């Protein structure tokens, strides 16, 4: 029997690397979109583990899938394959543009694989110097050194020494800037169809079509980072399905496992050929436990009813936010798609997003921010109307507390 260790927030400061500053609240139990802490206080969850818990907490079907697979096989490595991994890959292929799947553990790893594949493909099919990557300011693609450099927030990549080269950043939704930056040396354009961390900013339809056209013109691969927007988050199974554009490579993570760490890179057969045996790998990628849970989560999300429900709940959320704005006049913009919603604070309240997040926690509500001026909401796709009502009552209390 393992030794019982008394756990408090102080233990974090004692034993953990100090790169996070977590709340004093330690959640211990959840059900649906409700969470309880060590003291038994309850919270409504509008954060969803940052767009991860797409089916809420302790969903019985996910718990069942985990238990069932846990009594069969956990891990075999990629020297062998396994049944859950192959079933999940087949479902991803059948539901999307993709023909081939590479499984990883996290969004950063999926993006790392996508960028490596794009460079390898371009070198093999065109030339040794076709290696340039174009990404976007305020974009976010993970925390490996390659992906954090591709991300358009230098504060996250500065201070670690020389950065990976041949990466250019331009403004999001600025087609003229892309036209000026792209060339026959560009191997890939990496873009979020809706910037999450960057402030919940949607790509304009003409912009995203223009990006696709410029990639085609210069034989550059279009990579969609759907780590945050994928698996039903926008009301489409993947956000690209709500545009007129199909990417060459797509990355998916966060909600894919409904809370169990798993990610995938999706692409076509032609492009996938460049990752020959031995060119890339992942010890845990395709882990049987993760894939069994993800397969179940994917089946539950990929239904007409669930995806239609997300679009309906988007309207409910935005209506509640509009009502809050009538009361407090603190939002300059309410935006986003599906259940990835941002509320930008007016200039008067710039810098107050984190204060509202902290006050919300005290009022029994978990929310997110996207920078210092945007409240971000990414609840479970199956959150109930009752949970939404209660959450907004608590948010009203929190905002009143901050503004008084």
The total of other beta-carbon atoms located within 10 Å of residue 161's CB is: 6
Structure tokens at 306: 């669930």
| 283 labelled binding-site residue | yes
Give the whole-angstrom CA distance, residue 220 versus residue 248: 9
Q: Which helix (H) or strand (E) holds 114?
A: helix 107-125
Partners of 195 in the beta sheet?
201
DSSP 8-state code for residue 58: S
| 228 labelled binding-site residue | yes
Give the whole-angstrom CA distance, residue 88 versus residue 21: 35
Task: Output the CA torsion sign for 241, 238, 265, 182.
Answer: positive
Q: Is 130 a catalytic residue?
A: no
Query: Active site residue: 254, 313, 337, 352, which one?
Result: 254
Q: In terms of Cα–Cα distance, which of 172, 176, 132, 166 is closest to 152?
A: 172
Taking only Cα atoms into account, the Rg of the chain, rounded to an integer number of angstroms, comes to 21
| 143 labelled binding-site residue | yes
Structure tokens at 288: 């049987």
| 108 labelled binding-site residue | yes
Structure tokens at 116: 């490596």
Structure tokens at 72: 């069969």
Q: Is 45 a catalytic residue?
A: no
Query: Active site residue: 140, 224, 298, 377, which one?
Result: 140
Helix, coil or strand: residue 200: coil
Q: Is 225 a catalytic residue?
A: yes
| 107 labelled binding-site residue | yes
Q: Which helix (H) or strand (E) holds 4?
A: none
Query: Active site residue: 46, 225, 313, 337, which one?
Result: 225
DSSP 8-state code for residue 2: P
Q: Give the total residue count for the chain.
A: 404
The total of other beta-carbon atoms located within 10 Å of residue 339's CB is: 27
Structure tokens at 366: 């978990």
| 140 labelled binding-site residue | yes
Give the whole-angstrom CA distance, residue 230 versus residue 240: 9
| 146 labelled binding-site residue | no
Give the whole-angstrom CA distance, residue 398 versus residue 328: 12
Strands 42-45 and 365-366: parallel
Question: Annotated binding site for N(2)-acetyl-L-ornithine, which residues?
Answer: 143, 282
Question: Annotated binding site for pyridoxal 5'-phosphate, which residues?
Answer: 107-108, 140, 225-228, 283
Residues that are catalytic: 140, 225, 254
Question: Annotated binding site, which residues?
Answer: 107-108, 140, 143, 225-228, 282-283
């Amino acid at each position: 029997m393992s030794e019982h260790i008394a756990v408090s927030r102080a233990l974090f400061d004692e034993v953990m690397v100090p790169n996070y500053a977590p709340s004093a609240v330690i959640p211990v139990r959840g059900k649906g979109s409700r969470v309880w802490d060590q003291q038994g206080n309850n919270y409504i969850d509008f954060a969803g583990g940052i767009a991860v818990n797409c089916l809420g907490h302790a969903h019985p079907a996910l718990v069942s899938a985990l238990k069932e697979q846990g009594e069969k096989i956990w891990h075999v490595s990629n020297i062998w394959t396994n049944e859950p991994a192959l079933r999940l890959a087949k479902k991803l292929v059948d539901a999307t543009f993709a023909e081939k799947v590479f499984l990883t553990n996290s969004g950063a790893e999926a993006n790392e694989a996508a960028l490596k594949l794009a460079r390898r493909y371009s070198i093999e099919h065109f030339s040794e110097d076709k290696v340039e990557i174009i990404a976007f300011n305020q974009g976010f693609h993970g925390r490996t050194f390659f992906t954090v450099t591709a991300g358009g927030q230098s504060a996250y990549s500065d201070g670690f020494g020389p950065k990976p080269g041949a990466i250019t950043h331009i403004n999001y939704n600025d087609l003229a800037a892309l036209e000026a930056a792209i060339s026959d040396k560009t191997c890939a354009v990496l873009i979020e169809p809706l910037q999450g961390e960057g402030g919940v900013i949607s790509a304009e339809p003409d912009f995203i079509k223009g990006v696709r056209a410029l990639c085609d013109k210069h034989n550059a691969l279009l990579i969609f980072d759907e780590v945050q927007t994928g698996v039903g988050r926008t009301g489409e199974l993947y956000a690209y399905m709500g545009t007129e554009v199909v990417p060459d490579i797509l990355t998916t993570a966060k909600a894919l496992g409904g809370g169990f760490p798993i990610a995938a890179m999706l692409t076509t057969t032609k492009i996938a050929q460049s990752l020959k045996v031995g060119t890339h790998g992942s010890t845990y990628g395709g882990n049987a436990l993760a894939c069994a849970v993800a397969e179940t989560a994917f089946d539950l999300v990929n239904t007409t009813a669930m995806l239609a429900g997300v679009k309906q709940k988007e309207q409910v959320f935005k209506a509640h936010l509009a009502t809050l704005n009538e009361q407090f006049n603190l939002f300059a913009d309410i935006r986003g798609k599906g259940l990835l919603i941002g509320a930008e604070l007016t200039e008067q309240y710039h810098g107050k997003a984190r204060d509202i997040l902290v006050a919300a926690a005290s009022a029994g509500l978990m929310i997110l921010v996207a920078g210092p001026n945007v409240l971000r909401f990414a609840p479970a796709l199956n959150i109930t109307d009752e949970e939404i009502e209660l959450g907004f009552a608590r948010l009203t209390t929190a905002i009143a507390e901050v503004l008084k």
